[in-house]
Structure 1
């Protein structure tokens, strides 16, 4: 049998596991932990890391769906990728160790303008460019040690995926939620495509090309998200949502308060009223919709710009609108005399209910008849409901929304995107493609050479087709979908990427959704999250999903920031190698070549700023698991991470101390040192027992509840300190030492799986085992262990607070704390002398009760007045 420990660190061979493939240690314990050793460890364990995929129909374990936002395949990982996918992997591994049935998928957000432009620059097809990038990045993610379920992998550019994005469009179209109309859009003259408002910077330039954006009238496809506005707004108060924090405010701000109703008024030009030509009119008084006597628009409204770009003052337009309830033809004015709702460009003039509208009507000779019941609000709610129901029945709106919210414009005039499944027939108009003819595939092109223009209009074999309705000649829609459509539902396709009966399996959706934890950047916390929520609400309305809200819990991570250097005079970025640092605390530096003053700042890592760090360089210089630990340590996942090598020594030293601990453990278990006095041994044993329980509690809380993985890392370092204080006799003879060391390695495993696997292999092969209680599975790898549990006789805390300040702590055994109800907790808290003193002369107005099983319980008593100034200062200093 191979001797796995070298030189003078010999081990009794009968303790080596027969499971060589998964438990063989490299046996390098007498060598210093160098980068070369780390690489050997990672190469050895990379293919052996235990990973369990989701088991369908497992009724014994709770499912846990952990989802990270899928990457755009740019061709290489950056440190932001390393951060999000290390966080995701750590949580997935943690939940598996806690016996959860984990879903942890990955895929590629593979359509879009960057790939198309890159392919054009290189005279390639965007498909070849994208697939090559996916292959390279997939290899990097595997190298990073991420435990993704690769059998669920998908790419949005795969016809087997976008077939179902097209199915989503058809579902929306059938429900009257997808429509085409002329719109005033942001046009990028360089990239030759429409941009959303959010893709235009404060100077009116394109976010990608930098070109000055133009306004252009185009016929565009929209999704009527406003129909679900009130539902989406109220859904943010759903009890299913946890840890959304300020994202709820961002979402509510985006949607706006839904205190009015949208109605669709058709446009009348001369004697012509076109079926699909309409204007959305919002009013806070839907009960008086029949009393609308005029419509006013701003100068930036489509109707105004289409008629005359140089309107001044108040001017009546040649077009008119038709009130869908009365068929009355209404005049349309461009004016600044009226006060429009913020971010709204349309005003419903109801003279009988508004002094402002009355004055405008009288001034411009608009006829109306006074109503005697205008001020009778007794049945306003009933009337509003009646009007809205009627509007829905005749398909002219009737849905509550905000004045500012607009429908989702999904048209993009580019090639590399999901084709919109519509054909245009001279006889039948716009006709949906039949489902049996999906997917409508993009044509195969060897390269894209005409920069800025989609070739779809020139691909006659693809463009010309037959009408699904009459069989006559027709042409395909040449607009493709915004990539936000692809990403609005990808988490549902993960459930079964090969399912062929629909977008996803309804049965699996009811078993596996909603997502338990969604991890991603804050830059996607408004639009992407809004669109994904809309699609989920829509599919729930069809009975296809068990919940309206798709994501229970959010972990919004901060960016990885690099220090950038710019010449003060020109603003030109220069690499760090050309900078002489004078005083980095005061951000002072000069250019080595010219002596010019340099401005040093922390900015998001990017090539253009020359402040990026290549993950491959980190892997090579420090090792994969060290890189994972560095990206997680020191800074909360929700905060920006300033990448600074000054923070590295702490992690490097910690890994070295863990390595030495296993070396010492093997040495003392093979060559038993003499015992120490019993009282001293017991004191050491008790200390390790207490440390083990204390750090299990803290680390578990930081992994699963507070989401502060960085604090979890520091807690583990604290446990290492406790373990290394033990004398040799305790290494050799103490059950509590053995338990604490096993705990240490298991706590480490989710964040450094290769390194922890090697530590565990050394640990389990040591002789003279003491723990035979079944708590440690000696024949299994570290990633197959149970997450350590607190001992039954270790007391946990009921933390009692008043107005957010800790007053006192009451100790409970774990079994008792986990059963604690709010009513009992209040009673116990109010019986404490410290609480009674704090509550003197105050009334209790509310209680916030939070129970974290296995960790702690918190009860925050809120009063009708804050504590006196002196007391507040005392509490703050003590906490």
Structure 2
């Protein structure tokens, strides 16, 4: 026994020499010590855990645009995702936590033009800078999966997917009235123009133009995307479901593609109606003069326009009418005067000749028949709302994914052969005068792959939302040279378990990503339609801004003085308005993460951004939140100092009676179990990390609130509670907790043996997330309102009725007498529930 004990001590000492604490417990914690701790543990904290056959857990934060510098929004989203990834790792999951760069787009191109350098050079420099900052923050990203959308190795597969869309008739070119940004000199999708008609990027009023553009027929999947929002597979989407439904709109109508001869060419256009039977029996069409086809006509008259209805295979007269109540978002209407009395009235008012004969039909049966006929003829038939438009993806700028299409005078529109991908952007030495591929004649010229005659390349590039609509699949198979990804690589990892990102992307990006996932699933490439199981949508980080009341001009905080309850400009005494707004350089209300890292260290910065406010709530950033976090770290540091001091100086005489000692032990035991349960609940189910952190602060208070030295020295419960506190805080402050854990490991007279809960031979990031002591546990979904009337007996009965518990009880009863132990704990609503129950909603 003695030799074994000595060997064990020797082995532990060897471990401590390799991963020992700095042993600075007698000093008060300060920034210098924190920075030294982070330097000491940085390699351990950023080390990816091996798979070891564990079940994967895919934590996906939205990847950043490489602007060159992190802002507090980045710090918040990646602190959230990193904490969740580390939490799942401690719970026995293999966390996949990738990062990459949404690297194409206008900001990079405009910045490069200002500096007269290639956008690629500017973007690469920014990526290097931001990657360095992310590493400083200690985020444990899987850098082996790193991707960049401007890398030809990535956008080759964006082009590949585009060609698949083209093959299926879902990518098409059409003339349309578009939103033209006169500053950025490019087209914007309707979604990129605000309610005031201004560009989301430049902020200027957009102009209306008629241009031939590329579209993706997202409307074909509208009904499926709408209905998918009611799927049980989606967790915690909350109001995002309503945002998505509002955007898609109720799919109460059907679209069919008609044909119209324009200047000797047959053109196609979409007709929407909420009454599909009109595609069989309709007798006239009304079209607004703003329609692109009408704009293209050299001359038009009401008696000369005729279109082909592909469902009935009949010709219909077309009348150009502006003063008509068209369906929302549409400028074409199909009328059926022989069945719809309102259509007959409209025709008479517009002097449209119609038949006097009235038809009586089974409208419901004819509606179904019309849809079936359209689908069979492949001319439409998909349900969609009247307001939803197809996705306009053409951008008239250089810095984007080239659209892999060739235009030939003989063959028309020809897709680039798959084997010729990627169609790479031409290299440029400077950005002077280069805003579009149209100006690069040497790049435009090519050979038609069909007839081998001279042709030209498509010069529009794709909207960056196309690049980001499928990146979550590439992360799972980043080195695939044959396909965008293989189904075998994604089948066990999709849908993404938890997707973390800003609410500002909860409509457009999420809609496009869902569409792309549905499309790829239709090809048989993916195991599920929905790409994201659970969402954590974080609010913006807001800064306090100041502006002159007279002019509205923003001024820096150092020019503002508070007098009583009012704010004035120091030099002039002029009244100043203060408000909380999204952080911006122009508003002088930003916070530089580099300052926080240098002043407080990365763990404190992460703790600052996560504490006090749940992820979904906008975060009002202020230094006023600093004292609470700094004081808590100080208290944790003192707790470890006092623990080590007491363990090194064990009192020879007991000063507490057994009853007093047991009372302290029970209080610590009870608090530990309750706070493990509630912290776990918020880390695992609600993702209200701030509430979980507050529970850990409560456990710290328990360990510091009048606990006698004798308990600190001799209590196994105190030691265990301190250990689980450090383990549960480790996902938030991994460096700081690695140091605390190393101190705990070095303590003499350790009372707790290594077990499933604690392994003293491993670091804190290799531990197992603590569990509540007690009986068998199960998870039940309960409405929060039901908790108010939930009794102890009812809670236990609900647990016993679960099949998983019944099976375990049956097995145990055959072995030995089963005794149900249920310990009362107090939940957040102040009512008692059994510890065998785990509230998850």
Q: Same fold (TM over 0.5)?
A: yes
Residue 678 of structure 1 is aligned with which of 658, 682, 698?
Answer: 658
Q: Which residue does 2:282 correspond to in 1? A: 292
**Cα offset, 1:296, TM superposition:** 2.2
Distance 1:464 1:799, change over 3 A: closer
Q: CA deviation at 1:13?
A: 8.5
Which of 43, 48, 54 is 1:47 aligned to? Answer: 43
Note if contact 2:547-2:577 (Cα within 8 Å) is conserved in structure 1.
yes
Structure 2 equivalent of residue 833 of structure 1? none
2:484 corresponds to 1:503: yes
Greater alpha carbon shift after TM alignment, 464-473 vs 83-92: 464-473
Evaluate the alpha carbon distance shift between residue 189 and residue 853 of structure 1 in structure 2; reply closer, same or farther with a 3 A threshold. farther
Question: Could you tell me which residue of structure 1 aligns to residue 771 of structure 2?
Answer: 789
- Return the alpha-carbon distance in structure 2 between the equivalents of residues 795 and 547 of structure 1: 30
More divergent stretch after superposition (467-476 vs 739-748): 467-476
C-alpha deviation, 1:798, in angstroms: 8.6
The correspondence of residues 530-679 of structure 1 with structure 2, limited to 5 A, is 530-582=511-563, 588-673=566-651, 674-675=653-654, 676-679=656-659
1:750 to 718, 731, 739: 731
Partner of 2:821: none
What is the number of equivalent residue pairs in this alignment? 804
Deviation at 1:259, TM superposition (A): 1.1
2:17 matches 1:17: no
Go from structure 1 to structure 2 and tell me whether the alpha carbon gap of 1:372 and 1:53 turns closer, same or farther (over 3 Å shift): farther
* Pairing partner for 1:266 from 259, 265, 269: 259
The more displaced of 226-235 and 199-208 is 199-208
SS at match of 2:676: helix
Structure 1's 802 and 163: CA in aligned 2 closer, same or farther, altered over 3 A? closer
Q: Does 1:806 align with 2:802?
A: no
**Matching residue within 27, 39, 50 for 2:23:** 27
For residues 47 and 858 of structure 1, do their structure 2 counterparts lie closer, same or farther at Cα, with a shift above 3 Å needed? closer
Deviates further, 789-798 or 17-26: 789-798
Task: Say if 1:96 and 1:799 are closer, same or farther in 2 by CA, change over 3 A.
Answer: closer
Matches within 5 A, 1:218-229: 218-229=211-222
Q: Pick closer, same or farther for the CA change 1:720–1:605 going to 2, 3 Å.
A: same
Work out the CA distance in 1 between the residues paired with 2:287 and 2:464: 31
CA distance in 1, matches of 2:201, 2:691: 38
Q: Distance in 2 between matches of 1:706 and 1:505?
A: 33
Matched, 1:425 2:405: no
Question: Where in structure 2 are the equivalents of 1:91-490 lying within 5 Å?
Answer: 91-269=84-262, 272-274=264-266, 277-298=267-288, 300-305=290-295, 316=302, 319-335=305-321, 337-369=323-355, 373-377=359-363, 380-381=364-365, 383-450=366-433, 453-454=435-436, 456-490=437-471
Structure 2 CA distance for partners of 1:642 and 1:196, relative to 1, 3 Å:
same
2:387 aligns to what SS in structure 1? coil
Unaligned runs of 5+ in 2: 1-7, 807-832
Q: Which residue of 2 aligns with 1:841?
A: none
Specify whether residues 758 and 279 from structure 1 end up closer, same or farther in structure 2 by C-alpha distance, changes over 3 A only: same
1:708 pairs, out of 684, 688, 691, with 688
Q: Whole-Å Cα distance in 2 between the matches of residues 575 and 815 of structure 1? A: 62
In structure 2, do the counterparts of structure 1 residues 821 and 245 end up closer, same or farther at CA, with 3 Å as the change threshold?
Answer: farther
- Bigger mean CA deviation after superposition, 224-233 or 315-324: 315-324
The alignment's C-alpha RMSD in Å is 2.7
1:286 is displaced (CA, Å) by 1.4
Task: List per-residue Cα deviations over 1:642-700 (Å, max 9, x = no partner).
Answer: 01222211111110000001101111111112432211111111111111101100100
Structure 1 unmatched ranges of 5 or more = 1-11, 825-850, 860-879
Query: 1:204-263 deviations in whole A, cap 9, x for unaligned?
Result: 332323333211111100000011111111111111001111111111111111111100
C-alpha distance 823-505 of structure 1, shift in aligned 2 (>3 A): closer
Cα distance in 2 for residues equivalent to 1:801 and 1:206: 43
Asked if the contact 2:262–2:297 (Cα under 8 Å) also holds between the matched residues in 1, the reply is no
CA contact (8 A) 1:795 1:811 kept: no
1:188 positional shift: 1.3
CA contact 1:182–1:219 (8 Å) conserved in 2: yes
Q: Partners of 1:160 and 1:669 in 2: how far apart?
A: 58
Distance in 2, matches of 1:461 and 1:374, equals 63
